[in-house]
Structure 1
Amino acid sequence: MTFGKLFGWALLILIAIQFIPYGKNLQNPPVTGEPAWDSPQTKDLFFRACADCHSNETVWPWYSNIAPVSWLLEYDVTEGREHFNVSEWGRPGKNEGEDAAEEVIEGKMPPLFYLPTHPEANLDGIEKQALIDGLKATFGSGNHHDEQPAASE
């Protein structure tokens, strides 16, 4: 198969997958609640590094309308909102805020694949530590090793 034919088939497939309905539900539901942030700085850092997937205030880039990228973005945002969503704070079963700081400490959040297209989420060391401290102050800590043992009677 020549390069021209291969390119033609690839282009045809790319055009055809645009008609697959998955990845077309790129919406922001209404904000129904918000945590009591410990500071405006924590909220700002969270919205810079985390809110695209963990709030109903996602900024959908232009490429979010092009399959197969749209499929990945819809999946990631749906999963992120399902586990932890600051825009639906107080809704039972929707939030795991106590684990947020630990996810950042362990380098799981934000995911590495997110950073190249979202340079604002690349926090420097001071900002990252401020975010971690703010998440702990706002949501508590999921790290149970920090807890003090109960005093014996």
Structure 2
Amino acid sequence: MAVQLVRVDRSNPAVSGDLSATPVVKDAIERSCYDCHSNQTRWPWYSAVAPFSWWIHYEVEHGRRRFNFSSWTDYTSDPGTEDQKLDEVARLIASGAMPPWYYLAMHPRARLTPEERIAITRWIADEKSSHASSASR
């Protein structure tokens, strides 16, 4: 019972510049990635119960630091950084490493279909191609 006295912050910072993508890609990414990789986390009831709250807070903070869709315009202002982030997303989505199995166990709707994985990787390829085109001008 005493562990419940140690509370973690479950707030969501402001969104500084959200992801812009096709509706299919945006919906899939929001459903599967935003809880850990954005400032729009949906905090389920069990995220207030220690010790789960500590682990969930750590995962969200780590996810936001590594990649945050709510700061997308920070990445797009530097195409090199954006391309690196896009490469990482493509690799993790294609390999099935994201979303992680332990997240999917509690959030089965977050599971990406093969079609959604293809749509996301195509969107990433198109984004990177547009960067290459504009850089060569």
Q: Same fold (TM over 0.5)?
A: yes
Aligned to 1:48: 31
User: What TM-score do the two structures reach when normalised by structure 2?
Assistant: 0.79
Structure 2 counterpart SS, 1:90: helix
* 2:10 alignment partner in structure 1: 26
Work out whether residues 103 and 109 of structure 1, in 8 Å CA contact, stay in contact via their aligned partners in 2. Answer: yes
Q: How many residues align?
A: 123
Q: Which runs of 5+ in 1 are unaligned?
A: 1-14, 142-153
Runs of 4+ residues deviating >6 angstroms: 92-95
Q: CA deviation at 1:137?
A: 3.1
SS at match of 1:25: coil
Partner in structure 2 of residue 82 of structure 1: 65
Matching residue of 2:90:
101
Q: Which has the larger radius of gyration?
A: 1
For residues 59 and 109 of structure 2, the distance between their equivalents in structure 1, rounded to whole angstroms, comes to: 18
Query: Which stretch has the larger CA shift, 42-51 or 115-124?
Result: 115-124
Are the counterparts in 2 of residues 49 and 123 from structure 1 also a CA contact under 8 Å? yes
**What CA deviation, in whole Å up to 9, does each residue of 1:49-83 have, x standing for no partner?**
11111111110000000001101110000011001
**TM-score, scaled to structure 1:** 0.72
Deviation at 1:135, TM superposition (A): 3.6
CA separation of 1:135/1:118 partners in 2, compared to 1, >3 Å: closer, same or farther? farther
Query: Do the aligned residues in 1 keep the contact of 2:20 with 2:26 (CA within 8 Å)?
Result: no
Alignment of 1:135-146 (within 5 A): 135-138=124-127, 140=128
Give the fraction of aligned pairs with identical amino acids, expressed as a percent. 39
Output the CA distance in 2 between the equivalents of 1:51 and 1:136: 21
How far 1:125 moved relative to its partner?
1.8
RMSD of Structure 2 on Structure 1 (CA):
2.2
Q: Any stretches of 5+ residues in structure 2 without a counterpart?
A: 130-137
- Is structure 2 residue 49 aligned with structure 1 residue 63? no
